[in-house]
Amino acid sequence: MTTFDKREQGFEAKFAHDEEFMFKAAARSNKLLGLWAAGQLGLSGEAAASYATALVTDHLESRTIDDVVGKVSGDLADKGVAREQVAQKLQEYMHQALQQLQAES
């Protein structure tokens, strides 16, 4: 195996690791956003967990960040929560999720 082959394998492994890391961070931040949104909607217990889990699993089905923000802001529109506030919360939760995952590594 040449040095070039080793480098290529190293880059591929790093890419796979980074993709997995970002996938986990997105799932975790979506769950945190879902739990926050459930609280805003007055949901608790199993209903809140179910809402958060649905947000995560829906994101797995090719939803973009914009789709997630749109869904949650649509759900919270009657509560007077603006789309920008939902986007800000998602950004905060992504930062929190990244910190948690880095601490776990």
Q: pTM of the predicted model, to two decimals?
A: 0.85
For the cut 90, the answer to whether the pLDDT of residue 47 exceeds it is: yes
**DSSP state letter for 80:** T
The token pair at 18 is 């980074």
CA distance 71 to 7: 42
With 0-12 / 13-18 / 19 or more C-beta atoms within 10 angstroms meaning exposed / middle / buried, residue 54 is middle
Which are the contacts of 23, defined by CB distance < 8 A and separation ≥ 6? Answer: none
pLDDT in tens, 68-85: 999 999 999 999 999 999
Q: Which one is predicted more confidently, 4 or 28?
A: 28
